[in-house]
Structure 1
Amino acid sequence: MEPCIPLPVKEDELQELVSMAKDWALTHGITMRTADRPTSSEVTNYAPFLLLPSPFPERLFHQACAVQQDFNLLYHRVAHDHDFLQSTLQSAIKVDDFTKRLWDIYETVRKEGIKQPVSLAINRNDFMTDSQGRTLSTPEDVNTLGIKEIEFNTIASSFAGLETQVGLFHRFILERCGLADKVIKLPANTCVPGIAGGMVQAWKLYGNTEAVILFLTETVSRNIFDQRWLEWGIYEINSKVKVLRRSFDQVYRKSQLTEDNKLILEGHEVAVVYFRCGYSPNDYITEEDWTTRLRIERSTAIKCPNIYYHLAGAKKVQQELGRPGVVERFIQDSEAVKRIRATFAGMYSLERDAEGDAAVAMAMENPFKYVLKPQREGGARVLYFSEGHEVAVVYFRCGYSPNDYITEEDWTTRLRIERSTAIKCPNIYYHLAGAKKVQQELGRPGVVERFIQDSEAVKRIRATFAGMYSLERDAEGDAAVAMAMENPFKYVLKPQREGGGNNYFGEDVRKVLERVLDSDERMAYILMERIHPVPFQNYVLRAESPVQPNTMLSELGVYGVLIGTSDRIITNKQCGHLLRTKTSDTNEGGVATGYSAIDSPYLV
C-alpha cells in the first residue's frame, strides 16, 4: 500500500521532522515512564510512535468499526450464558490454573447470588488486513483484501489515551508537510470521551454521587499516562467524580465489604471497578490478591470487566464462536451474523481427541502458517477503602495475567472487589468471557447465533473471524494438531488467557506441539490461522534508537462500550480506534511489551 507521502524522506528533511515529532510528543503527552525508573514520573520519555500515519484500506476500516456493536452484544450474551462458558472452558480449567482460579471466583459469586446485575464492558476488538499471501501489484488490488479478527479483549484494553494524541500529531505533521488536503483521510477518534463516558454512565447508574471509580492498577506501571488520559476524560465529563488508583495489595489492606455488600475503600464507597490489571497470572502474586478479586466480585460495585466477562475473553471462546451455528445461538439477526463471521480467522482447539490431533499434525507439518496462543485472555456488596471512600466503579488496568496475582492477598483483593456493589470494568464474568477459548468457541456454527438474533449483526461478526481451532484431546483436536504439524507456518499457537505475547510461530509451533502432543497441557492453547497483512514503509520513533525506513505491518483495534444486565442493554456503542504498527520481521505486537508502536490510520 502506498504511504501518504513518497518515501524515503530526504535525510535533512527527515531529521527536522523527527526532532519536531519528539518535541511534539513530549509536549502533548505521548509519554511513558522509563524502563530504569518505572515507578517514577520524574523522568519520562516519548512512547514508541510512527512518524507518519500508516495506510489502511478505508473499506476495511469502516467494516471493522461497523461490526463493533455486534461483537459487543455477542460477548455480552456469551458472558451471561453459564452453560456455554462451562462447556467451552472446561478443558482450559482442567489444565490452566489461572483460568481455574477465575472460574472458582465465578462459581463462588454465582452461587452466592450476583450482587450487581449491571455490567460495564470496555472492549477492544483487534483486526489485521489479510492478503491471503497475495502481492498487491496495483492500487486497485487493495479492493481484494479482507479483514480478520485477531482477538477480542474484554479486560484492560489500553492505549486509548496515547492513540488519541498520536492521531492529533499525524494531523499536525501532514499540515506541516504541506499536505493539509490529506488530513481528511485521517478518521476522527473518540476513544477517550467514549470510554470515559461509559465509566461515568456506569457511575451514575450505581446511584451514589459520593461513590468513587477505582482504577485497579499494577504496582509498577510505565504506561500510567495512557491511563491518566482516561481519568482526565472522566473529570472533563463530570468533575465531581472521584477516581482512585490502587493496586491489589492496597485494595486488600484498605477495603472491606459492608453487610449489604458495598465495597468501602479508604472510607469511600466504590461504584465502579475498572481493571487495568488482573488479566495475567503475574498480577496475582499472593493469595491475598485472589482474595481481593473475589471481594470485588462479591461487591455491589460495577466491574469492568466482571468475572464472567473476563472468562468470555478466553481464546477458547473465540475459537468456539467460529464453529457453524454458534454465533447464531446468540445473535438472531442474520445480517449481523454475516458481519461477524466475515472477520473470523481459523482457530483450532488442541483438545486430546481426533480434532485436536488433526490440528497438531497440521501445525507441525507447516508451523509458519499458524500462531500458538495461550487460552486465557489478557456481586452485591459495596466496596469501601479503609480511608472511608465508597467505590462506585473499579477499572482494571491489571489483573488479566497470572503475573498480576503474586500473593494470595492479590486474589483475596480481587474476590473482595467482585463481592462488592461497585461496578467493575470488567467484572469477573466479563473477564472470563474474554478467554481465547471463548473466542474460539464463538467461531463454531450456531454459537454466535445463540447470543445474537439479528441476522445482519451475525453476518458482520462472522465476517471478521479468522480460523481458530481447539486442541482438545478428541477427534477434532487431533485433527487440528495434525493440520498444524503438517504446515506450522500457516498457524499461530496462542495461550488461552489474554494479555498479549507468549504466542508461537513457525517452527516453534511444531516444537511446542511435539512437546505437549500426548498431554493435557495442549488444551491450554488455541490454534489460529496465520493472517498475512499488507506491508508498507514508514518510520518508527523509539527512544535511543535510530530512525530509518522500515517495512511495517499494522493491527487495528476498535473500542466498544456496552452497559447492561443479563436481559437489558442500556448502552452499546463503538467509540474510537487504535492502530499499532510493528516491523514486518516482528511476530508479537504489544506496545507495552516493546514490539509495536502507536500509529493512526491513513485511509486509502
Structure 2
Amino acid sequence: MNIVHQPQTTPSNYPPENLSPDQLHSILTQIKDYQTNHGSLLKVIGSETPHSVHLQPVSTSVFPTVFSRRLFNEAVDDLQLIYNELYCKLAEDVEWLYAVTGPLRRTEPLVDALWHVYEEIQRRRQDYGSQYIEQKIHAGVFRSDYMLHVRSDTTIDSDDEEDENWTQNLCLKQVEFNSYSCAGGCHADKVAGMHRFLARRGLYDFASSSEDPEEQSINIRILPSSLPRNNTINGIASVLASAHKTYGSKPFSSKASHIAVLMVVQPNNFNIADERPIEYALWNWIDGEPIPTYRIEWQQILHHTQLTPTGELLFFPPENGDSTITQPVEISVIYHRAGYEPHEYSEDINGKEIRTRLEVSRAIKCPSILGHITTIKSVQQALTGPGALERWLTKEKAGRIRGTFVEICSLGDFMSSAKNPIKDEELAENYILKPASLEGGGNNIYGADIPAFLKTMSPEGSEKSAYILMERIRSPLNVYGMLMSSSRGVTADEVVSEFGVFGGCLWERKESSSEQDKCQVIMNRVIGWSFKTKEVTVDEMSVVKGYGCFDTPYLVD
C-alpha cells in the first residue's frame, strides 16, 4: 500500500496528543464561545417555541488539519475559473444535457420533474409569448469539491524516513461539482475565522521538551499566515448583488415599490445559519445601497407571488399582511436554496408549477433550470469521456481540469466489462456506487458493500441506469486530526479532508452555432472555499448529517 508521511514542515506530534487537561479545556472553551457569538450553530428542530429555540454548535475541528499549500493555490487560482466557465457553457447546451440526462427520466422522479418544467417553459413561451419572456442572463454559485489523491506511480514505503517533499506525491481529484443550492459556505467562513482567531490568540502555540525519550515533546506554533482567509459569505452575496445590479435599478412593473432578491428556502430548516448571513450581508451591503432580500418557503411561492402580463415576478412579503392591499416587491434575482428533493415537485403542493412560475419570470435565476440539471452525477460522468471537454473549452483548459478526474463509469457499462465488481469483491474496494441523479450524499454504497447491493438488482432491470461507479480517491495516510461534535465529543484519529472551492458567475445566452460561443461569461470569480474533515473510517462527509466537521486547512509546503 502506498503511504504518504506527515511533512517535515509540520511537527511530528500534530495535533498534540499529550495536551494537559487545562490546555484542552481552554481551547474547547474558546471554540464554544466563538461559535456561540458568531452563529456557528444548527437549529434543533422541534425545540422552537414562540419565545425561544434550542441550538447546537456545528461540528468542527479542534486544530486545523494539514493540507498542501501548492494544491490549495492550484484549485483557487487556476482550476475553479475553468470549471466556472465550463458549467456556464453546459447550462446553455440543452441538446447535450438532454442526451446525457434524459434517459434518467424513467427511473429518477426528480430528473423527470426538472425536464418537465423545462418543457413546460418552452410550451408557454411558444403559446403565450410576452408574459413568458426569456431572461437570457443567468447566475451561478458553484462549488467544486476535491480530495488529496496519492499518485498511482508513488512508491513511498511506510518504513522510509519522512519525505520532505511529501506534497509533491499528491494531486487533486474531484469528488463532485455542485451547481445548485451549494451549502456550507457560511459555516466554512465562520470556522476559518475561528481558527485564525485561536492562532492569533496564541492557543495553538506549544513549546515544551523532555530529555526522557519515552516522553514525546511538543513544539508547535501555528501562524495565522498558514491559515487562509475565507470570505465566502460576502462572496456569495457579491454574486447576487451583481445579478441584482444587472437586472436594473428600478422595477419594470408600475405596481412594485422596489426590486429585491428572493431566497427560496425549505420549511423547518435546521441550517438557517448557513443561509441567513447571506441575507444579512445583502441588507448591509458594503458596496453601495442596501439590497433588499426576502426569504420565502418553497410551498408558499404560489400564494405570495404573481406574474405580471410582461413577466415580472411580484412578491407580497407575508409579514406585510393581506396581499390585496399591500404594494408588492419586484424580484430581480431568485436564489435557490430549495427545490432539490423529489417531494418538492409533488402534485399535492403543485411543485412543478412552483418552479415553472419562477423560471418563466423576468427575474435572473441563480441558477436556471438547466443550470440545476448540470449538477446531475451523470453529467460529471459524461465529462470524463474522451474529448468531451473540448466541446466547450480550449484544449489547454480541458487538459487542466481533466487531470482532476477519476474514472467514472455507468453501472451498465461496468457490469458488462471484464472488471465486474459483482465477480471481483477485491476490485469493489476501489469504487463507490453513487446515484446517477442529483448529488447530495447519504445514498452512496462503498467498497465491499457494492457486490451484495448489485446482486439485489435484476440482471435486465432498468435500475442499473440509476447508478454510476466512481473510482475511490486514495487519500494520503498518516494525517491526523482532532474533531469535536455534539454527539461524539472530542476524538483524535487519522482523518481525511475534502476541500471545496466556491465560484460565482454571471453569463448571457447568445445565439450561435458554436457551443463555445453560446455563452458569454460576464463575471467569473472565485468567491470562497470550504474545508471538511472526517475520521478515515467514516465514509460520508456531510457535517450537518453528523459525519464530518468543518475545518480549516493548515497549509504546508
Q: Which of the two has greater strand per residue?
A: 1
CA contact (8 A) 2:109 2:342 kept: no
C-alpha offsets along residues 111-136 of structure 1, whole Å, 9 cap, x if unaligned? 44461111101000000001258666
Q: Report the counterpart of residue 268 of structure 2 in structure 1.
A: 220
How far, CA to CA, are the matches of 2:407 and 2:435 in structure 1? Answer: 15
CA distance in 2 between counterparts of 1:386 and 1:145 reads 59
- For 2:325 and 2:385, how far apart are their aligned partners in 1? 44
* Match 1:33 to one of 43, 51, 54: 43
Indicate yes or no: 2:437 matched with 1:412: no
Q: Aligned partner of 1:534: which letter? A: P
Distance 2:484 2:75 in 1: 27
User: Who is 2:420 aligned against?
Assistant: 482
* Alignment match of 1:7 (pick from 16, 20, 36): 16
Q: Deviations over 1:482-535 (max 9, x none)?
A: 256522111001112122221110232112222224211111111100112224
Q: Note the C-alpha offset of 1:187.
A: 1.4
Alignment partner of 2:441 out of 490, 500, 507: 500
So what's the TM-score if we normalise by structure 2?
Answer: 0.82
- Partner SS state of residue 585, structure 1: coil
Q: In structure 2, how many angstroms separate the alpha carbons of the residues matched to 1:49 and 1:463?
A: 31
Distance 1:56 1:433 in 2: 29
Partners of 2:418 and 2:303 in 1: how far apart?
A: 46
Distance in 2 between residues matched to 1:386 and 1:457, nearest whole Å: 51
Q: Which residue does 2:187 correspond to in 1?
A: 162
d(CA) in 1 for partners of 2:63, 2:289: 35
2:15–2:480 contact (8 Å) kept in structure 1: no
Residue matched to 1:338: none
TM-superposed deviation, 1:550: 2.1
The one-letter amino acid of 2:488's match is S
Matches of 2:526 and 2:362, distance apart in 1: 26
Question: What's the CA shift for 1:405?
Answer: 3.9
From 534, 558, 565, give the equivalent of 2:476.
534
Pairwise CA distance, 1:404: 3.8
Match of residue 513 from structure 2: none
Is 2:148 aligned against 1:129? yes
The one-letter amino acid of 1:240's match is P
Matches of 1:116 and 1:531, distance apart in 2:
40
Q: Is the 8 A contact 2:240 2:333 kept in 1?
A: yes
Partner of 1:46: 57
Alignment of 1:186-335 (within 5 A): 186-209=227-250, 210-235=258-283, 236-237=285-286, 238-266=288-316
* CA distance, structure 2, for counterparts of residue 448 and residue 75 of structure 1: 11
1:84 aligned to which of 96, 99, 107: 96
TM-score (norm 1): 0.76
Match of 1:314 in 2: none
- Equivalent in the alignment of 1:452: 393
Aligned residues of 1:192 and 1:229 also touching (Cα < 8 A)? yes
1:582 correspondence with 2:534: yes
Alignment-derived partner of residue 543 in structure 1:
486
Aligned to 2:403: 463
Residues 132/178 of structure 1: CA separation in 2 closer, same or farther (3 Å cut): closer
Q: How does 1:311-390 map to 2 (within 5 A)?
A: 388-390=328-330
Q: Which amino acid aligns with 2:191?
A: V
Q: Deviations over 1:251-296 (max 9, x none)?
A: 122112111121112179xxxxxxxxxxxxxxxxxxxxxxxxxxxx
The CA distance in 1 between the partners of 2:93 and 2:237, in whole Å, is 27
C-alpha distance in 2, partners of 1:427/1:433?
Answer: 10
2-structure distance, mates of 1:204, 1:484: 54
Answering whether residue 139 of structure 2 is matched by residue 120 of structure 1, we say yes
Aligned: 1:591 with 2:543 = yes
Q: Which amino acid aligns with 1:174?
A: A
Alignment CA distance shift 1:468-1:239 (3 Å): same
Partner of 2:128: none
Retained in 2: the 8 A contact 1:469–1:528?
Answer: yes
Return the alpha-carbon distance in structure 2 between the equivalents of residues 577 and 538 of structure 1.
20
Match of 2:505 among 557, 562, 568: 562
In 2, the alpha carbon distance for the partners of 1:509 and 1:135 equals 29
1:505–1:476 CA distance, 2 compared to 1 (3 A):
closer
Alpha carbons of structure 1 residues 138 and 103: separation in structure 2 relative to 1, 3 Å? same
Aligned length: 486
- Specify the alignment match of 1:299 in structure 2: none
Aligned residue type for 2:149? D
SS of the equivalent of 2:490 reads coil
Is the 2:44–2:54 contact (alpha carbons within 8 Å) kept by the matching residues of 1? yes
| Higher RCO (C-alpha under 8 Å, 6+ residues apart) | 2
SS at structure 1 position matched to 2:488 = coil
- Equivalent-residue separation in structure 2 for 1:462 and 1:36 (angstroms): 46
Aligned-partner residue type, residue 224 of structure 2: V
Q: 1:138 deviation in Å?
A: 2.8
- SS of 1:533's partner is coil
Contact 2:415 2:421 in 1 (8 A): no
Q: Does the CA contact (< 8 Å) of 2:375 and 2:439 recur in 1?
A: yes
Q: Which residue in the other structure is 1:146 paired with?
A: 171
- Residue in 1 that maps onto 2:514: none
- Using the alignment, how far apart are the partners of 1:118 and 1:85 within structure 2? 19
Amino acid at match of 2:167: V
Structure showing greater radius of gyration is 2
CA shift, 1:184, in A, is: 0.9
Provide Cα deviations, 1:23-73, integer angstroms capped at 9, x if missing partner.
111112211112543798632221111111111111111122220010111
| 1:428 paired to 2:369 | yes
- Structure 1 residue 248, shift from structure 2 partner: 1.3
Secondary structure of 1:578 counterpart: strand
Structure 1 contact 480–527 (Cα < 8 Å) conserved: no
Q: CA deviation at 1:239?
A: 4.4
Give structure 2 stretches of 5+ with no counterpart: 1-5, 126-132, 206-220, 251-257, 319-323, 510-518
| Distance of 1:47 and 1:36 partners within structure 2 | 18
State the distance in 1 between where 2:411 and 2:325 align.
Answer: 43
Per the alignment, residue 116 of structure 2 pairs with 104
1:56 aligns to 2:67 (yes or no): yes
Distance 1:485 1:88, change over 3 A: farther
- Residue by residue over 1:139-184, the C-alpha shift from the partner in whole angstroms, topping out at 9 and shown as x without a partner, is 4222101110000000111121121111111112223226476211
SS in 2 for 1:431: helix
State how far apart, in whole Å, the 1-side matches of 2:222 and 2:267 are: 45
Alignment match of 1:520 (pick from 458, 462, 468): 462
Match of 1:430, SS? helix
CA contact (8 A) 2:282 2:290 kept: no
C-alpha distance 6-417 of structure 1, shift in aligned 2 (>3 A):
closer
Give me the identity figure in percent. Answer: 29
Q: What's the Cα RMSD here?
A: 2.4
Map 1:59-78 to 2 at 5 A: 59-65=70-76, 66-78=78-90
Structure 1 residue identity aligned to 2:190: Q
Q: Read off the aligned partner of 2:312 and give its amino acid letter.
A: K
Cα deviations by residue, 1:543-577 (Å, 9 ceiling, x for unpaired): 25321312211000000011001231110111211
Contact 1:491–1:529 at 8 Å: present in 2 too? yes
1:175-229 deviation per Cα after TM superposition (whole angstroms, max 9, x unaligned): 3226476211111223222211110010111114421111111101111011111
Shift in alpha-carbon separation, 1:417–1:128, aligned structure 2, 3 A: same
Conservation of the 8 A alpha-carbon contact between 1:267 and 1:387: no
CA contact (8 A) 2:15 2:63 kept: no
Q: Alpha carbons of 1:57 and 1:525: their partners in 2 closer, same or farther (altered >3 Å)?
A: same
